[in-house]
Structure 1
Amino acid sequence: MSHSYIPFELYKRKWIFNHKDLPVSDDDKALIKPLADKSAMEVWNKWISNKSSRAELFEKGDWPAKQDAWSATEHWQSAWDSHDNALPEAILEHIKWPDDTVIYFCYEKYQVLETRWDVFVRNWKCFLFFDDGPILMAPKHKQALMFEQNGQYKLGVRG
Structure 2
Amino acid sequence: MHYIDINAYSRKWIFTHASMPVPAEDLAQIKPLTQARSAILWREHISAQSPDADHFGSGDWPNQDKNWIESVDWQNAWDGDDPALPEALAEFLCWEDNTPVYFCYEKYNLIETTWAVFRRHWKNFLFFDDGPLLIAKKKTQAVWFQSDGTCQFGHRE
The interval holding the TM-score normalised by the smaller chain is: over 0.9
Compute the TM-score of the two structures, normalised by the length of structure 2. Answer: 0.98
- The partner residue of 2:51 within 46, 50, 53 is 53
Match of 2:106 in 1: 108
Structure 2 counterparts to residues 109-148 of structure 1, below 5 A: 109-148=107-146
Compute the TM-score of the two structures, normalised by the length of structure 1. Answer: 0.97
Deviations 1:112-158 (A, max 9, x none): 00000000000000000000000000011100001000000111100
Match of 2:5 in 1: 7
Deviations 1:7-30 (A, max 9, x none): 110000000000111121101100
Kindly tell me the number of residue pairs found equivalent between the two proteins.
157
Supply the distance in 2 between the matched residues of 1:9 and 1:23 (Cα, whole angstroms).
14
Match of 1:29 in 2: 27
Q: Write the letter of the residue equivalent to 1:38.
A: A
Note the C-alpha offset of 1:59.
0.5
Q: Write the letter of the residue equivalent to 2:133.
A: I
Deviations 1:49-94 (A, max 9, x none): 0010000100111000000111000000000000111000000110
Runs of 4+ in 1 over 6 A off after TM superposition: none
Unaligned runs of 5+ residues in structure 1 are none
Deviations 1:30-53 (A, max 9, x none): 000000010000010000000100
Match of 1:151 in 2: 149
Cα RMSD over matched residues? 0.7
Match of 1:99 in 2: 97
**Aligned residues with identical type, % of pairs:** 48
Unaligned runs of 5+ residues in structure 2 are none
Structure 2 counterparts to residues 53-92 of structure 1, below 5 A: 53-92=51-90
